[in-house]
Structure 1
Amino acid sequence: MTLAGSALDLLRTRKSPKLFDLTSPGPTDAELDSMLAIASRVPDHGKLAPWRFILFQGDARDRAGDAIAAVFLTDNPEAEPERVAIERGRLTRAPLVIAVVSKTAPHAKIPEWEQTLSGAAACTLLLLAAHAQGYAATWLTEWYAYDGRARAALGLSESERIIGFVHIGTLARPQDDRPRPALADLITRY
């Protein structure tokens, strides 16, 4: 198979698994370094690197979950223990979770929107790099990505935003592909 053929097959077969179908093992340190290096090779007008990565592995996933649950309990003091446990487990559903953080800033030539898109591209390449190394990955945000208190508890500055949490692990069972939109519905010729 040609490099182009294998690359196209990789792109054609990537899909987002159900989160609860991710299990151990997660990537090794060397595989993780490779994934992050690939994710950093995105279009980045001005070479600003307007994004960064926060890694949640091992016990760090539990500590982050405690922080998320604390924010949830502040707003929902009457929540059932089972519901609080769901919030506490948000970042433990895969062996590795990577937060892709947008750190855009005003710039004379590069709009903040373009900087944000560069971070979104980093999420996409992270998903593809995980897939290329035999792992499954899913990109989520969920409520705590948009809550300033939760973002602060996870180590973000006030000006930073979460583009996505990329959950990476081994696929526990085969996944059916979801229906894809018909190309004819997506294309307009000018």
Structure 2
Amino acid sequence: MGSARDAIASRRSQSKVTDVAPSHEEILEFVTVAARVADHSSLRPWRLIELRGAARERLGAAIAEAEHPGENREPSTKPLRAPLLIAVVSSRRESVKVAAWEQDAVASGIAHMLTLLLDEAGWGVMWRTGHYTRSSAVAAMHGLGEHERLLGWLYVGGKPDPKEGKGDGAPKRIDAREFVSVLQ
């Protein structure tokens, strides 16, 4: 088994995936582990929604409505780019100790942990967002409550064979000195 460092260092987003996806049971196992994310007061201010099959088509219709309100447009094909989409929802809880932004950060942490776990298990994954994550049509399609915000979707599928040239290239490295300072 590799280290967390190795898994993180080798992770990369997969913009193109194949038509296979992890099962609901596999997703539950990944979520059980991802839930170890730092969570002030253990509020668990998040939830995830699996979209497969026709649910992706309904999302395409909601995106079309968000992009062109009131117009009769063809559904967006964006949700059909992967066989499984996992909607990441910040589900804020009432708290005097934990601010809303911190609760959103916990939900983001769950999403990132899932990307690492899925990648390590051999699945291709990309976190996609867009202005329509804030639209009422997309929120209604997901059944979001007033206290919930859609943070995007994890697009999940099989990793394409690298010999087919569909990879997204090597992971990009940064010069950490540009982002880390020392306070004296």
Corresponding residue SS for 1:137: strand
One-letter amino acid of the structure 2 residue matched with residue 137 of structure 1: V
Alignment of 1:21-170 (within 5 A): 21-74=16-69, 77=71, 84-85=73-74, 88-170=76-158
One-letter amino acid of the structure 2 residue matched with residue 68 of structure 1: I
Question: Could you tell me the TM-score, scaled by structure 2's length?
Answer: 0.87
TM-superposed deviation, 1:27: 0.7
Q: 2:8 aligned with 1:11, yes or no?
A: yes
TM-superposed deviation, 1:178: 5.1
Q: Aligned residue for 1:183?
A: 176
* Structure 1: gaps (5+ residues): 79-83
Q: What RMSD over aligned residues (CA atoms) do the two structures have, in Å?
A: 1.9
Q: Aligned residue for 2:163?
A: none
Corresponding residue SS for 1:31: helix
Between 1:130-139 and 1:145-154, the stretch displaced more is 145-154
Structure 2 distance, partners of 1:157, 1:90, is 24
Q: Aligned residue for 1:81?
A: none
Tell me how many residue pairs correspond in the alignment.
Answer: 178
Question: Could you tell me the TM-score, scaled by structure 1's length?
Answer: 0.84
One-letter amino acid of the structure 2 residue matched with residue 24 of structure 1: D
> Does the CA contact (< 8 Å) of 1:139 and 1:164 recur in 2?
yes
* Structure 2: gaps (5+ residues): 161-165
- The runs of at least 4 consecutive aligned structure 1 residues that moved more than 4 Å come to none
Corresponding residue SS for 2:79: coil
